[in-house]
């Protein structure tokens, strides 16, 4: 009889038996809820905003500036001394004209008359000429100004900045796809492993039940004196070994089930039967698909593109920048006579000499881009090897799965033959047990080969960034 299960694995499996069913498609439904995927989505949204910010650099920059200033005194321009000098000159001229007129009339002006004429002229001039005092800045003053700056040419730096921002957004999108693909691949591999172990547990349980029946038969034959006691002991030893293997398999399944629950966040047991994941390509087409869509290769290309933009930006540091500008004073009453209401113009800046810094940084950026380009070529070489390895792994597993089909049929016939002969006393218990072990090994070998085929397919789908097709291909495999 099978020994009572008391391990934590057995308890976990008993709990799983009461859980709901979980298909692979349902397990993969939890992918979008992964914290790492949400983080990658947030990063992508951040980089999209940065791209919008880079586009905004092409538009005019409008700024409002307001201030209140209090000075230690009112700033004035006082020219009253000049005004006094002018009045004095004009007064003297008026007096001289009066003297000339009196002389022409044959008279002479007395001092009192001259003084009166001078005072009258000075008074008239003082009333007619305003004070020569201009306020340049009040002691307390409010200022409000609108300024506009429109870049016209900045040496290609704005284009490079926008290109770099788009490159970073592309890298974030690739990173999101990588996280999603890795999550799908991990859950699928965990699910397939758990499914394989669940079916392996069932096969080992069938093996234990078969050996239990054989032990019962051996006990009857021993009681009838048809076999020796050593044959019964051999059968009991085989049963004990099979029970230990079953418990070990249950422990591995319990661990795989726990891992699946961690990844999916569900306490359900996988119910899909193990099957192949047929690929939509042959070997050559698979390599083409991988080279076109491999996420790591696309990421390297995006990095190289970013470095090209960095090189362009560094080159732009050596070119002139041209910008149009304008300003408008909102509070004209606060302006002095020396300050305009508005102003507009064009500004040009040209770097002359920076000690060779800009040139060196430009060459450095170009060299860095060349380095990444060579890293991309090296990755493509390794990628070709990875595709071939995964494809050969799949072919090897498929050949083994097909070859073990014959071994399984032969083992079934051998076991049936030895069980009949043992019942007739013409075969030993060792023959029956060995035949049972051969059958279990063939079935478990086929099961493992089928799992290896599916896992190799997932590896190729991951390299080709086609893991989102996995549920469809998995369901397709159930019909083949």
Q: Which residues pair with 323 in a beta bridge?
A: 151, 347
Q: Which of 412, 442, 480 is nearest to 210 (CA)?
A: 412
**Cα–Cα dist 338/244, whole Å:** 102
Residue found under tokens 């008279």:
107
- Which pair of tokens denotes residue 187? 């859950």
Average pLDDT over residues 45-67: 92
Q: With 0-12 CB in 10 A as exposed, 13-18 as middle and 19+ as buried, what is 451?
A: buried
Q: pLDDT category, 120, cuts 50, 70, 90?
A: confident
Strand partners, 26: none
Q: Which two tokens stand for residue 65?
A: 């500036």
Q: What average pLDDT does range 447-474 have in this prediction?
A: 95
Cα–Cα distance for residue pair 20/12, rounded to 1 Å: 14
| pTM of the predicted structure, to 2 decimals | 0.77
pLDDT classification of 2: cutoffs 50, 70, 90 = very low
- The answer, yes or no, to whether residue 17 has pLDDT greater than 70, is no
- Over residues 164-216, the pLDDT tens digits come to 999 999 999 999 999 999 999 999 999 999 999 999 999 999 999 999 998 99
- pLDDT given at position 258: 95
pLDDT for 479 beyond 80: no
Pairing mode of beta strands 321-329, 133-137: unpaired
Q: In whole angstroms, what is the distance from residue 197 CA to residue 250 CA?
A: 8
H/E segment holding residue 59: none
In whole angstroms, give the CA distance from residue 317 to residue 219.
94
Is the pLDDT at 10 greater than 60? The verdict is: no
Residue, of 188 and 361, whose pLDDT is higher: 188
Question: Which tokens go with 295?
Answer: 């996420």
**Half-sphere exposure of residue 419: CA atoms within 13 angstroms, side-chain side:** 16
pLDDT bucket at 8, cuts 50 / 70 / 90: very low
**What CA–CA distance (Å, rounded) separates 461 from 28?**
15
The per-residue pLDDT for 461 is 95
Is 136's pLDDT higher than 80?
A: no
| Nearest alpha carbon to residue 170 among 74, 52, 267, 302 | 302
SS3 annotation, 285-326: HHHHHHHHHCHHHHHHHHHHHHHHHHHHHHHHCCCCEEEEEE
pLDDT at residue number 110 = 81
């Amino acid at each position: 009889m099978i020994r009572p299960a008391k391990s934590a694995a057995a308890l976990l499996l008993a709990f799983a038996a009461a859980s709901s069913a979980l298909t692979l498609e349902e397990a993969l439904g939890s992918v979008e809820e992964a914290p790492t995927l949400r983080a990658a989505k947030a990063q992508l949204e951040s980089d999209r905003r940065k791209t919008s910010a880079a586009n905004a650099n092409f538009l005019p920059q409008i700024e409002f500036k307001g201030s209140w200033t209090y000075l230690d005194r009112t700033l004035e321009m006082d020219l009253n001394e000049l005004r006094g000098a002018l009045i004095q000159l004009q007064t003297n001229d008026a007096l001289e004209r009066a003297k000339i007129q009196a002389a022409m009339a044959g008279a002479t002006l007395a001092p009192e008359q001259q003084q009166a004429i001078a005072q009258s002229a000075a008074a008239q001039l003082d009333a007619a000429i305003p004070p020569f005092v201009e306020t340049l800045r009040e002691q307390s003053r409010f200022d409000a100004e609108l300024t506009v700056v429109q870049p016209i040419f900045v040496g290609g730096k704005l284009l490079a900045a926008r290109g770099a921002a788009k490159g970073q957004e592309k890298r974030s999108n690739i990173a999101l796809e990588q996280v999603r693909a890795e999550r799908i691949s991990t859950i699928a591999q965990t699910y397939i492993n758990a499914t394989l172990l669940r079916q392996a547990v069932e096969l080992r349980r069938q093996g234990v039940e078969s050996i239990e029946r054989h032990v019962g038969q051996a006990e009857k034959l021993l009681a009838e004196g048809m076999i020796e006691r050593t044959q019964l002991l051999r059968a009991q030893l085989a049963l004990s070994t099979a029970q230990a293997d079953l418990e070990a398999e249950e422990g591995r399944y319990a661990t795989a089930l726990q891992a699946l629950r961690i990844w999916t966040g569900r306490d359900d047991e996988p119910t899909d039967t193990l099957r192949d994941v047929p690929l939509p390509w042959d070997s050559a087409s698979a390599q083409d698909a991988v080279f076109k869509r491999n996420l790591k290769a696309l990421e390297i290309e995006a990095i190289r593109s970013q470095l090209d933009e960095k090189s362009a930006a560094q080159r732009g540091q050596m070119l002139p920048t041209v910008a149009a500008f304008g300003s408008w004073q909102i509070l004209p009453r606060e302006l002095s006579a020396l300050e305009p209401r508005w102003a507009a113009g064009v500004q040009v800046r040209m770097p002359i000499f920076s000690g060779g810094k800009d040139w060196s940084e430009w060459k450095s950026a170009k060299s860095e881009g060349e380095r990444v380009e060579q890293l991309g070529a090296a990755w493509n070489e390794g990628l070709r090897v990875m595709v071939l390895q995964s494809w050969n792994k799949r072919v090897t597993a498929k050949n083994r799965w097909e070859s073990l089909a014959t071994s399984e049929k032969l083992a079934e016939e051998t076991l049936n033959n030895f069980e009949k002969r043992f019942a007739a006393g013409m075969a030993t218990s060792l023959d029956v047990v060995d035949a049972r072990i051969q059958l279990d090994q063939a079935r478990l070998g086929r099961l493992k080969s089928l799992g290896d085929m599916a896992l190799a397919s997932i590896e190729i789908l991951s390299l080709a960034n086609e893991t989102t097709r996995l549920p469809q291909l998995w369901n397709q495999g159930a019909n083949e």
